[in-house]
A and B are shown apart, each in its own frame.
Chain A
Amino acid sequence: MKTQINKVLEGIPASPGIAIGTAFLFGREDFVIYRRRISEKAVPNEIARFEEALIRTRQELKELQASLSNKGAASSKIFDAHLLLLEDRMLIEDVIKELKEKKFCVEYIFSQVIKKYIDAFSQMGDSYIRERTADVSDVGKRVLKHLLGQRRNQISLEEPSIIVAHDLSPSDTATMSRTNLLGFITDIGGKTSHTAIIAKSLEIPAVVGLQIATRVIKNGDLLIVDGNEGKVILNPDTKTLRHYQREKDISIVEARQLEDMLRDLPAETMDGRRVTVAANIEFPSEVDSVIKHGAEGIGLFRTEFLYMGREDLPSEEEQFEVYKKVAEKVAPNPLIIRTLDIGGDKFLSQIDTPEEMHSFLGWRAIRFCLARPDIFKVQLRAILRASVFGNIKLMFPMISCIDELRDAKKILSDVKRELSRKKIGFNKEIEIGAMIEVPSAAITSDLLAREVDFFSIGTNDLVQYTLAVDRANEKVAYLYRPTHIGILRLIRMTIENAHKNNIWVGMCGEMASELPLVILLLGLGLDEFSAPPISVQKIKYIIRNISYEEAQRVAEEAFNKNSADEVEAFLLDKAEALLRRCHGEKVCDFGDLKKYKI
């Protein structure tokens, strides 16, 4: 068959973004199941085999679920449904009844029963139930594997790839290696299918419901996945490719070049202002990527993962080991640990938290920790003990007034005293920071600055609180604008107050990784940018290609604008001009910024 150029497949956009890569066909694992007759005497044995396969599958699902919830993935809930299906009375009774009546081997009987359910579900009018056929089929396959004595293989991708599948089940995606995984495309599925949920949580583009993807795409085909429009382009020509590469933030190749080029270079402007570009991480395993991308330390180490998805609380020793390991890996660069920030949209199963009407305005972060010094002190002790093994700093989240900061510091000094008394070593000069993410903290930053060694502006919450917008609410999400003049003023005020008191200011919210905003923040005098590891080089790149003087001029001019739209248009213009100056052509159109316009 002749290779078709620029063939466009239309599907349903399931997760936004653009990916360009080679196709990896994820084969549907079809089993060869023989219709083997059995004797009356063999029936009990077949039932026993069936029961054993159920027990093993149950164990496997439990393990998978535990491993996912450790990673903090919300998708681990999907397995609750799978466990329920596995234990389903009707299913089990059907199999046993048919086995006794028809006397075929249990593999055959079981696959027939599963097929019966799938057929029935897939004919139902309700889309929710129709999509549950994937769950039934997934559980069915697992049981069959155990019956047939096969083990599921883990997929690892050798090169940056786009997974092409008929459909993806939770267990397919859970065991899939994330390295080199660029996107998903599937024949079936809708906006609520597992593929969509998982792609979004992995922040990779996905297009589903393409119907013929697995038939027309071959392994190794070059694909463009347009998760914004719900399109897949098969074997694109150079022109199309160039178009999409532009559409993409920065192409993979360019990112790699940037990586090599920038890894060991400092984040220094053309006229010599040196700032720090650090990375945000959630799990210790991300440290390697921090180092790979050339981040100068960790500007935000979230610690919630230690507490989530388990029955008990993490011990001091367990926490100590984690902090120590991460600190040693990034030393001499700093590791900034944020103390426990639960509440809002993250809750602990170990602790009964009252249901709150406005959980983001409720009992969360530092408020929770101050109310539960028993839990808070364990973490502080672990952080302090680890502080002798690297350059650890700590910061308190969600500070809204000076009293909270003082109370937290009081508990910290109590813990320090205890350690001294027991002659346990810690860094007595450990730097303490306050997160500026509540508007009142920004407004009173002149007062807070006297209490701490640094500030870290958490823009995600700052924007949500200042603009009174719940980003998760799609009706009002369009109002979520980091470039709102009110936000910019708060940021400027915070930086100025910090500098007046001779302390430094970082930013660990998403804003710090939006390229056009980097120019503005640099110009405002931000000292540290902390972003996802993957954005580190891009930020360095911008900083190294502009002078501080120019950035200051840009910032000043941005403050003369009247609205978020005007600020964005202006900054986009400046960022594009900068990139054009470096590249001689436009390489990036800042999809990041556009997403705020919904």
Chain B
Amino acid sequence: MRLEEKITIKNPQGLHARPAALLAQIANKYDVLVQLKKGKTVVDGKSIMGILMLEATKGSKITLIVEGDSAQEAFAEIKELLENEDPDK
């Protein structure tokens, strides 16, 4: 299964530090392929380095692509994190 959706980052800190680490941790839990796309840059969602490279600040639009058997679950969990507005989460 392959899921793809354009998501706006709502976290006030953007995808830095804790959110980036959390995202990588979530992505690594699942046996799926996770990709994040911003403009022309595509990175591995299981890599904290990759996520930081995106430089996704609050308000930026990124495309989340999840592929694999448990794509549905992984997609939901990652999406929730990306759209989280609480800076402490």
Which label, helix, strand, loop or mixed, suits the secondary structure of the A interface? helix
Is the beta-carbon distance between B43 and A90 smaller than 8 angstroms? yes
CB distance from A89 to the nearest CB of B (A): 5
Is the beta-carbon distance between B44 and A128 smaller than 8 angstroms? no
CB distance from A122 to the nearest CB of B (A): 12
A80-88, A314-322, A432-440, A446-454 - interface stretch: A80-88
- Using CB atoms, name the residue of chain A closest to B44: A90
Q: List 24 A-B contacts (CB under 8 A).
A: A81-B17, A85-B49, A88-B24, A88-B47, A88-B48, A88-B49, A89-B44, A89-B47, A90-B43, A90-B49, A91-B47, A93-B44, A117-B53, A120-B53, A121-B52, A121-B53, A124-B55, A126-B14, A128-B13, A128-B17, A129-B52, A129-B55, A132-B17, A136-B49
Is the beta-carbon distance between A84 and B24 smaller than 8 angstroms? yes
Is the beta-carbon distance between A117 and B55 smaller than 8 angstroms? no
Q: Which residues of B contact A125 (CB under 8 A)?
A: 55
Q: How many A-B pairs fall under 8 Å by CB?
A: 47
CB distance from A109 to the nearest CB of B (A): 16
Is the beta-carbon distance between A84 and B16 smaller than 8 angstroms? no
Q: Which residues of B contact A121 (CB under 8 A)?
A: 52-53
Is the beta-carbon distance between B14 and A117 smaller than 8 angstroms? no
- Using CB atoms, name the residue of chain B closest to A90: B47
Is the beta-carbon distance between B16 and A90 smaller than 8 angstroms? no
Is the beta-carbon distance between B17 and A84 smaller than 8 angstroms? no
Q: Which residues of A contact B53 (CB under 8 A)?
A: 117, 120-121
Is the beta-carbon distance between A84 and B48 smaller than 8 angstroms? yes
CB distance from A73 to the nearest CB of B (A): 19
CB distance from A130 to the nearest CB of B (A): 10
Q: Which of A77-136 contact B (CB under 8 A)?
A: 80-81, 84-85, 88-91, 93, 117, 120-121, 124-126, 128-129, 132, 136
List of 9 A-B pairs having minimum Cβ-Cβ separation, nearest first: A90-B47, A90-B50, A89-B47, A88-B49, A90-B49, A89-B46, A90-B44, A124-B55, A88-B47
Flag whether B8 is at the interface (Cβ < 8 A): no
Q: Which of B22-80 contact A (CB under 8 A)?
A: 24, 28, 43-44, 46-50, 52-53, 55, 57
Partner of A81, one of B14, B21, B50: B21
- Using CB atoms, name the residue of chain B closest to A113: B49
Q: Which residues of A contact B57 (CB under 8 A)?
A: 126
Please report A residues at the B interface, Cβ cutoff 8 Å.
Answer: 80-81, 84-85, 88-91, 93, 117, 120-121, 124-126, 128-129, 132, 136
Is the beta-carbon distance between B16 and A117 smaller than 8 angstroms? no
Q: Which residues of B contact A89 (CB under 8 A)?
A: 28, 44, 46-47, 50
Q: Which residues of A contact B17 (CB under 8 A)?
A: 81, 128, 132
- Once A85-B48, A88-B49, A124-B55 are accepted as A-B contacts, the answer to whether A129 and B16 lie under 8 Å apart by CB is yes
With A120-B53, A129-B52 known, 19 other A-B pairs at CB within 8 A are A81-B21, A84-B21, A84-B24, A85-B48, A88-B24, A88-B50, A89-B47, A89-B50, A90-B44, A90-B49, A91-B47, A117-B49, A117-B53, A126-B14, A126-B55, A126-B57, A128-B16, A129-B55, A136-B49
- Using CB atoms, name the residue of chain B closest to A136: B49
- Using CB atoms, name the residue of chain B closest to A91: B49
CB distance from B47 to the nearest CB of A (A): 3
- Using CB atoms, name the residue of chain A closest to B16: A128
CB distance from A118 to the nearest CB of B (A): 11
- Using CB atoms, name the residue of chain A closest to B21: A84
Q: Which residues of A contact B55 (CB under 8 A)?
A: 124-126, 129
In the bound complex, CA of A85 to CA of B50 (Å) = 10
Q: Which residues of B contact A91 (CB under 8 A)?
A: 47, 49
CB distance from A85 to the nearest CB of B (A): 7
CB distance from B52 to the nearest CB of A (A): 6
In the bound complex, CA of A90 to CA of B24 (Å) = 11
Q: Which residues of B contact A124 (CB under 8 A)?
A: 55
CB distance from A112 to the nearest CB of B (A): 15
In the bound complex, CA of A117 to CA of B49 (Å) = 8
Q: Which residues of B contact A129 (CB under 8 A)?
A: 16, 52, 55
CB distance from B53 to the nearest CB of A (A): 6
In the bound complex, CA of A534 to CA of B20 (Å) = 42
CB distance from A173 to the nearest CB of B (A): 20
Q: Which residues of A contact B13 (CB under 8 A)?
A: 128
In the bound complex, CA of A93 to CA of B43 (Å) = 12
Q: Which residues of A contact B48 (CB under 8 A)?
A: 84-85, 88
CB distance from B55 to the nearest CB of A (A): 5
In the bound complex, CA of A106 to CA of B47 (Å) = 21
Q: Which residues of B contact A88 (CB under 8 A)?
A: 24, 47-50
CB distance from A93 to the nearest CB of B (A): 8
Q: Which residues of A contact B43 (CB under 8 A)?
A: 90
In the bound complex, CA of A129 to CA of B57 (Å) = 11
CB distance from B75 to the nearest CB of A (A): 19
In the bound complex, CA of A126 to CA of B47 (Å) = 19
CB distance from A377 to the nearest CB of B (A): 36
Q: Which residues of B contact A117 (CB under 8 A)?
A: 49, 53
CB distance from B25 to the nearest CB of A (A): 8
CB distance from B76 to the nearest CB of A (A): 22
- Using CB atoms, name the residue of chain A closest to B14: A126
In the bound complex, CA of A125 to CA of B52 (Å) = 12
In the bound complex, CA of A10 to CA of B82 (Å) = 40
In the bound complex, CA of A120 to CA of B43 (Å) = 14
In the bound complex, CA of A80 to CA of B17 (Å) = 11
**Residue with the greatest number of chain B CB neighbours at <10 A, chosen from A90, A121, A128:** A90
Q: Which residues of B contact A81 (CB under 8 A)?
A: 17, 21
In the bound complex, CA of A443 to CA of B14 (Å) = 49
CB distance from A194 to the nearest CB of B (A): 14
In the bound complex, CA of A126 to CA of B56 (Å) = 10
In the bound complex, CA of A90 to CA of B17 (Å) = 17
Q: Which residues of B contact A90 (CB under 8 A)?
A: 43-44, 46-47, 49-50
CB distance from B38 to the nearest CB of A (A): 13
In the bound complex, CA of A372 to CA of B24 (Å) = 38
In the bound complex, CA of A445 to CA of B80 (Å) = 53
In the bound complex, CA of A121 to CA of B14 (Å) = 15
- Using CB atoms, name the residue of chain A closest to B51: A90
In the bound complex, CA of A125 to CA of B56 (Å) = 11
CB distance from A79 to the nearest CB of B (A): 13
Q: Which residues of B contact A120 (CB under 8 A)?
A: 53
CB distance from A563 to the nearest CB of B (A): 38
